[in-house]
Chains A and B, each alone.
Chain A
């Protein structure tokens, strides 16, 4: 599976949000999208899951245009962990995770043995099995977010989009889930595209980085090549020092306490 995006543009009420975006996502790689607030990261993901339709440009999955796929086909190809992990009704954790199997269960049938096996396995691996029968509305934000990630993993798709999927999790669970996702990328040749705010976390886990600013791709490429002081200065307008860190095994960015501007 490979996703290529050509000349993608989108505007809300004639206010351009994305302009001429070209990107390629190749299988077996972990991509991170970084950029200031309101630069169009979430809108880009919206277009890629066909939640919204682009004004111009094409999105192709292998050889097929995204627009020609049915909703169900898309749901069997792409899963999304959205920024919003609020769930308004008191479903149990298990019920929420099972919703990830929705694209595979026909309308009036119940989950099969395979669905139940996958859900049990994912709940075990994401460490939410301990509260599988609790109501989702009673959990803390981080716990709820882990359930939503587990739901997306159950969808078992070749592409996984994460929109700030770790924003409420503690560092231990963030690392645990990132390791899980990373393993899936290597083992099942998946594509993961994750929107991050934490530059150093993104650098440590991603094969490639995409920097966005003002609805355009400002820089994109291999993590080690593209993460530089110049790029951070241009995209975020902050001064930084970027250096390879032995312990993290990746380039890390450092910022001064009073270093704005």
Chain B
């Protein structure tokens, strides 16, 4: 009797992955067709096919302007946005799983504050335009913050529980608080640069390039691979450290690898697009309602759902609203109430 149940659950996951993938492709097409200039989905497919085929027959028939809009403006933005949505969601699943805390998100360990601080330093010192781009500063800031947080929470003598959930969360809060003060100070001394800082912090996908697409997709694919490889071990970690180890999981190693994976996914996301809240917190919760807590299902489904939702939000701010508002503001305004609803609902059950 149990064999069919198992097979059904497997089939169901496969069906959901397929369904979400179709939705994502549909969302990408819809988003690419919307904007100042309406372009039909069929034309978009034609343009993309033409590009992939190395500039075949289709391209010649189509307007060069349309081609530029789709290939150079909309698609880089859309694909970066989808990749960031996926990366933040995987990161959220990983942090919630490692920290054994459903309220954790990609920014719990202060990665966002580190990235923001790095970006602010670059902007205030006007380094961004001269040497290296602001995103690189943000990425370095995020990585240094992660190292500091791990150093603070590392309890060396007790090698098997090297990173306790409480230690990590507390260190993250402390470091983020210090960095926030630093950011405030930099804003204070920034004079006319302050608006640049504020806009950077609120996040945006405007004027993304194919370079951003490649970068975020590379991190996303790597992160997805590592997360799926350790997904089953992450399930066992939720039984508690001792139980997981007695079942053959090297808890310390799995925790460390997934912590770094989740942080890098968050760091690259913040570096490319600024601080976008609520995606990493909300998406794993929503998907858990459908898939249950098994990380082997949760990770791929969350990635797809995160991509769909963030792209939806970005399309709204880019093409539906009369003026573009920062994507970070929009996700918080939409995600916050949804989270309240889910939170209240889960308490009742």
Stretch at the interface among B121-129, B143-151, B154-162, B193-201: B154-162
A71-B250, A74-B248, A80-B246 known, 17 other contacts, Cβ within 8 Å: A12-B157, A49-B245, A50-B245, A51-B241, A51-B242, A71-B249, A76-B248, A78-B246, A89-B288, A89-B293, A90-B288, A95-B292, A99-B235, A110-B6, A116-B6, A119-B2, A155-B247
Query: B243 near A102 (CB under 8 angstroms)?
Result: no
* Min C-beta distance of B131 to chain A, whole Å: 44
A–B Cβ pairs within 8 angstroms, 7 of them: A74-B248, A78-B246, A84-B243, A87-B240, A90-B293, A99-B239, A151-B243
> When chains A and B are docked, how far (Å) is the Cα of A116 from the Cα of B158?
37
Residue of A at shortest CB range from B243?
A: A82
Query: B240 near A75 (CB under 8 angstroms)?
Result: no
Given contacts A87-B238, A88-B100, A103-B248, whether A120 and B2 have CB atoms under 8 Å apart is yes
Q: Which residues of B contact A71 (CB under 8 A)?
A: 245, 248-250
How many positions in chain A have a CB within 8 Å of any CB in the partner chain?
Answer: 44
Q: Which residues of B contact A87 (CB under 8 A)?
A: 238-240
Identify which of residues 224-265 in chain B touch chain A, using a CB-to-CB cut-off of 8 Å: 229, 232, 235-236, 238-243, 245-250
Q: Which residues of A contact B248 (CB under 8 A)?
A: 71-72, 74-76, 102-103
* Min C-beta distance of B99 to chain A, whole Å: 9
Q: Which residues of A contact B293 (CB under 8 A)?
A: 89-91
Q: Which residues of A contact B250 (CB under 8 A)?
A: 71
> When chains A and B are docked, how far (Å) is the Cα of A69 from the Cα of B144?
37
Q: Is A200 an interface residue (CB 8 A)?
A: no
Contact of B243 among A72, A76, A91, A148 (CB under 8 A): A148
> When chains A and B are docked, how far (Å) is the Cα of A231 from the Cα of B245?
34
Contact of A86 among B157, B240, B245, B292 (CB under 8 A): B240
Query: B238 near A88 (CB under 8 angstroms)?
Result: yes
Query: B236 near A91 (CB under 8 angstroms)?
Result: no
Q: Is B3 an interface residue (CB 8 A)?
A: yes
Q: Is B72 an interface residue (CB 8 A)?
A: no
Q: Which residues of A contact B10 (CB under 8 A)?
A: 110
Q: Is A241 an interface residue (CB 8 A)?
A: no
Q: Which positions in B face A, CB cutoff 8 Å? A: 2-3, 6, 10, 97, 100-102, 157-160, 229, 232, 235-236, 238-243, 245-250, 288, 292-294
Query: B232 near A107 (CB under 8 angstroms)?
Result: yes
Query: B102 near A89 (CB under 8 angstroms)?
Result: yes
Identify which of residues 90-141 in chain A touch chain B, using a CB-to-CB cut-off of 8 Å: 90-92, 94-96, 99-100, 102-103, 107, 110-111, 113, 116, 119-120
Given contacts A12-B157, A91-B238, A107-B232, whether A82 and B246 have CB atoms under 8 Å apart is yes
Contact of B238 among A76, A80, A89 (CB under 8 A): A89
Identify which of residues 30-70 in chain A touch chain B, using a CB-to-CB cut-off of 8 Å: 46, 49-53
Query: B236 near A75 (CB under 8 angstroms)?
Result: no
Query: B246 near A75 (CB under 8 angstroms)?
Result: yes
